[in-house]
């Protein structure tokens, strides 16, 4: 079972999502984690993904969840370990929707996440955990 970071970037009560072609959906940024410095891995991932200097990124570990759910891509139930990180991008560098390296990034309110059928099909567990953790 692999470990994954769920990266929650919030600005003005909106959550940053990226469009994932494989899942045909907007998702929270995420990356695989190793057993070494996980805060550094998340910081590096956000910096590279969003083309932002690390000095403008503040990462805070929130909690983790181990849970099972049906995998849309594998068509079987899988067990996941997700570690949740709240990320603040200083100086309000990300205020509007944007594209970086041909990846579309878009801001969603929590209600917009809940009302998006595709997001809820592939990611309802993560959206629920965001509310549970008061993120």
What is the per-residue pLDDT for 95?
72
Whether the CB-CB separation of 91 and 56 falls below 8 Å is answered with: yes
91: containing domain: 3-132
What is the per-residue pLDDT for 3?
85
What is the per-residue pLDDT for 67?
87
Per residue of the chain (135 residues), give pLDDT as tens. 578 999 999 988 999 999 999 999 999 999 999 876 799 999 999 999 999 999 999 999 999 999 888 777 778 888 889 999 999 998 666 778 899 999 999 999 999 999 999 999 999 999 999 999 999
What is the per-residue pLDDT for 92?
64
pLDDT in tens, 3-22: 899 999 998 899 999 999 99
What is the per-residue pLDDT for 78?
86
What is the per-residue pLDDT for 70?
78
Identify which of 82, 74, 89, 79 has the alpha carbon closest to the alpha carbon of residue 127.
82
Whether the CB-CB separation of 13 and 109 falls below 8 Å is answered with: yes
Tell me the two tokens of residue 46: 């956000």
Domains held by the chain: number:
1
Q: Residue 42 sits in a domain of what CATH number? A: 3.90.79.10
What is the per-residue pLDDT for 1?
59
Cα angle: 71, vertex 74, 79; to 5 degrees:
45
């Amino acid at each position: 079972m692999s470990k994954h970071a769920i990266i929650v970037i919030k600005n003005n009560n909106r959550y940053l999502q990226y469009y994932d072609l494989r899942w045909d959906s907007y998702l929270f940024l995420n990356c695989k984690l190793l057993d070494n410095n996980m805060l550094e891995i998340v910081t590096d991932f956000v910096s590279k993904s969003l083309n932002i200097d690390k000095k403008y990124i503040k990462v805070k570990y929130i909690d983790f969840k181990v849970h099972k759910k049906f995998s849309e891509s594998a068509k079987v139930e899988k067990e996941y370990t997700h570690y949740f990180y709240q990320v603040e991008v200083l100086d309000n560098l990300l205020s509007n929707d944007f594209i970086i390296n041909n990846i579309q990034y878009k801001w969603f309110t929590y209600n917009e996440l809940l009302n998006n059928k595709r997001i809820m099909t592939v990611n309802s567990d993560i959206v629920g955990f965001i509310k549970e953790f008061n993120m």
